[in-house]
Structures are given as structure tokens and as C-alpha cells.
Amino acid sequence: MADCNDWFRTGLEHIWLPYAQMKTQPGPAPIVSTSGARLEMADGSTLIDGVGSWWTSVHGYNHPTLLKAAHEQLETMPHVMLGGLAHEQAYRLAARLAEIAPGDLYKTFFTESGSVAVEVAMKVAVQYAMNLAGERRTRFVSFKGGYHGDTFATMSVCDPEEGMHSLFSGVVPDQYVVDLPDTDDRTAVIEKLLSSHNDIAAVLVEPLIQGAGGMRMHSPETLKALREACDRHGVLLIFDEIFTGFGRTGAMFAADRAGVIPDIMCLGKALTGGITPLAATIASRKVYEAFHTDSVDHALMHGPTFTGHAIGCAVANAGLDLFETKPRLEQVNTIEAQLTERLMPLSKLPQVADVRVCGAVAAVEFADEFDVSAARSWFIERGTFIRPLGRVVYLTPAYVIEQKDLATLTGAISEFADTVR
Ligand SMILES: *Cc1c(COP(=O)(O)O)cnc(C)c1O
């Protein structure tokens, strides 16, 4: 404990924390070890984790299969660059992603963060139109409530007001950020939008669930309508599955659950098993072929230093092994049933505006604002790590969470609902 106080207090003076007004926000909880769906705090107490380290640790923390893959790769060859050199893990992973990705998505570009995976998708979409027809299609359609990252290009496609980047309107490029037309007139609304502009490179959407924007869910019909409209207008459709990919919605990809195949798909978060940073942008054959020509100008000029990081790819391959050998999607379905049973009844409370469940995601949206910082501390005092987003209290547990631990999380949310009146 003396030890922890030392690094924690000294470091807190110098570390700049994510999404935090550091002057007013309560300090974070120091964690010294992890296992399964649990976090051990420096004072020896345990937190049941309802978040999974920003939705990454779907197999649980310290999974032996993932640790072994990381160790073995580290000992033989931590990494070599992909420019001019090749290593097995990135190549194996690209081939396996092509195998499991929907439709003919088959060509993967690796990055180290989801934001950059979305940047690559956007760059590919703009260059696709240039390569194919010399057209300048430079703008994107994206949706209110959406979140695609924190870099400059991705800020421009996030929700402009409710997102975290409202200060930057006018600084980032102007896009068509519109209401998600999850309504009966969806076909007409989308048609009107796409037919009134000829500078649209792609439509970018988080399929089925907008994660960071508050776990907002929409119907597969909306994605089908987007697909059809994009096809009519020669516009690409990009699915940002960084949150929804790898079983989160109950199917391997939200695209599978919705029955809609995008032209480009972005992956991250659960791809990593929560261990090392890695993200991927996967293009369809049609998209890739516009780059695969005799012209050097048609090449994709992109190459992060650690593209295809060997340890990250080794862990991701081991994660795919777990999806093949463990009943991950059944586990998600069991979680979905338990979340539904435990949390849906809260929708009857007057202080609750909405309860939503899809796969291993549950959101309880309150009618009124509450003190989010105080709520976060309240959950920690009850042995749970739950981080509300605005008025939304959500759970995105590891797929391996034990039933009784999940019951503790849902119980804490029920108890919390009683305090919000
Ligand atoms: C987290 C997230 C991102 C950004 O990923 P980073 O790795 O944080 O850059 C982009 N899109 C979606 C849908 C996400 O959930």
C-alpha cells in the first residue's frame, strides 16, 4: 500500500488522464492485478468489472491462452516492420480475418488504434473514388449519437454536439452528420440525402449499436436501407465494428446479425483481447481492386510504425483460437438472457427512460441527469466498476463473467436506480 501511494500520488501530478477534468473529477481507482472479470485494488479489495477495459477484455483478464501467445512471440521475435519484411502472425491474422469476415471483405490493413483504423477507412474511401474515376468525393455521411475516435478526421464524423468534440466544430472538416433514420420512412430519408450530394465518399455507421454515444440501438432494416441506397449511388458503406465486432451483439459481427455486408469494416477493441493495441481495416475485393493497378499513384500511402505489430497479432490469433474452441457466442446469449431478465423490469420505474439489451450489452437510460462522478464512486464503493456515459448506465462485461458476478453488477444498477429519484 505504501508502494502504491508512492507511484499513484507522485504520478497523478504528471499524468494527463483521458476524458477528464482533472481538477474536479475524483481520482481513479489504483489497480494492482486482474483476473477473469475482476480487478484487484491496491487496498486489497476486489471490483467486479462491468466495462472490460473499454470493451477489450472479452475473454477475461489474464487468459492463459493469450498470455502464452504473447510470451512466445516476445521470446522469438517481438516485432519486425511490415515495410519490406514479413512475419507470420500478421499474415496469419489477415488470412483468418478474411475467413471470418462477412461477404468478400478480404484485405486487411493493420493499425494500432481504432481511431486510426477509421482514418484508414476514410482515406481508402476517398482514394477509391479518385482511383476509380478521378472523382473528388471527399465528404462522409455519419450519424448523430455516433462515435468513431478522437483524431481530427474521426472527430468530424462523431456526433457534433453530444459527442465529446463540440469545441472543434469549424476546426475539423465539415461532414453530413444526420439523424440515424431508424424510422419507417428510412428509405426515402436516405435516398434524399444521397441524391442531393455528389461529393459523398462513404456512409459510416456503427452497426446495430452506437457504443460510446450511449449504447443506442437501431434495427437491421436501417442498415439494409443504407446498403441499398449506397449501392444505388455508388457510395461506399463503412461499418465501424470496433465496439460491436467479435461477438458483442451475439453474432461474430453486427454485420452478420443484421445480414448486411459493408464495403469496409473497422475492427479493434476485442480484437486485442485487452492486451496489446491493435486495430484493423478490412476492404472488400471491389474496393481493394481500385488500388491494385499498375499505377504507383493508386497505392495506399499509409504505414504506421507498428502496423501489424507481431505481439498484438499473435494475441489476436490466440483470441480467434478462443472464439473457435470456446462457446463464446453462447456465453454472450446467456449474458443477454440474464441482462434482459434482471434489467428490463427497471423500465417500469418512472425515473428510467429506457432499458436496452443486445448481446452482451445493456443500457439503463435515466430520464434526468445525475452526477456521473458521484455515481462512479458509488459503484466502486459497492465493489463494482461501472462507468455511466451521461444519463446512461451500461454494462459490457467479459463474455466469461460468472453468473453471480453479473448478478452483482445488475443488482448494483437496480440499487442505483432506487437512489435516482
Ligand atoms: C473505441 C472506438 C473507436 C476508437 O478506437 P481507439 O482504439 O480508442 O482509437 C472508434 N470507433 C468505435 C465504434 C469505438 O468504439
End-to-end CA distance of the chain: 38
Write down which residue in 285, 301, 325 finishes a domain.
325
Across 249-267, average pLDDT: 98
Q: Encode pLDDT of 385-398 as tens digits.
A: 999 999 999 999 99
274 lines ligand 1 (CB under 6 A): no
- Cα 419 to middle of ligand 1, angstroms: 32
Do 29 and 76 sit in the same domain of this protein?
Answer: no
Do 140 and 72 sit in the same domain of this protein?
Answer: yes
Rounded Cα distance between 421 and 38, Å, is: 30
Write down which residue in 272, 298, 325 finishes a domain.
325
Do 40 and 187 sit in the same domain of this protein?
Answer: no
Per-residue b or e along 282-316, where b marks 16 or more CB atoms closer than 10 Å to that residue's CB: bbbeebbebbeeeeeeeebeeebebbbbbbbbbbb
Do 130 and 104 sit in the same domain of this protein?
Answer: yes
Rounded Cα distance between 255 and 102, Å, is: 7
Rounded Cα distance between 180 and 303, Å, is: 33
Residue 251 has pLDDT above 90, yes or no: yes
Residue 236 has pLDDT above 80, yes or no: yes
Do 137 and 249 sit in the same domain of this protein?
Answer: yes
* Mean residue pLDDT across the chain: 96
Do 139 and 270 sit in the same domain of this protein?
Answer: yes
Closest ligand 1 atom to the C-alpha of 268? 7
- For residue 35, what is the domain's CATH number? 3.90.1150.10
For residue 281, give the DSSP letter.
E
Q: Which pLDDT belongs to residue 165?
A: 79
Do 262 and 398 sit in the same domain of this protein?
Answer: no
Q: Encode pLDDT of 133-192 as tens digits.
A: 999 999 999 999 999 999 999 999 999 887 677 888 888 999 999 999 999 999 999 999
Confidence of residue 67 (pLDDT cuts 50, 70, 90): very high
Do 299 and 234 sit in the same domain of this protein?
Answer: yes
Containing 282, the helix (H) or strand (E) segment is strand 279-284
Q: Which pLDDT belongs to residue 350?
A: 97
Instruction: Report the number of distinct structural domains present in the chain.
Output: 2
Do 36 and 100 sit in the same domain of this protein?
Answer: no
What is the extent of the structural domain holding 336?
4-59+327-419
Across 225-243, average pLDDT: 98
Do 281 and 184 sit in the same domain of this protein?
Answer: yes
Residue 377 has pLDDT above 60, yes or no: yes
Q: What is the pTM of this model?
A: 0.97
Across 306-322, average pLDDT: 98
Query: Which of 242, 309, 396 has the most ligand 1 atoms within 8 A of CB, as the residue to mutate?
Result: 242
Q: Encode pLDDT of 338-372 as tens digits.
A: 999 999 999 999 999 999 999 999 999 999 999 99
Write down which residue in 325, 355, 374 finishes a domain.
325
Residue 402 DSSP SS3: coil
Do 116 and 187 sit in the same domain of this protein?
Answer: yes
Q: Which pLDDT belongs to residue 3?
A: 60
115 lines ligand 1 (CB under 6 A): yes
Query: Which of 115, 119, 140 has the most ligand 1 atoms within 8 A of CB, as the residue to mutate?
Result: 115
Do 246 and 364 sit in the same domain of this protein?
Answer: no
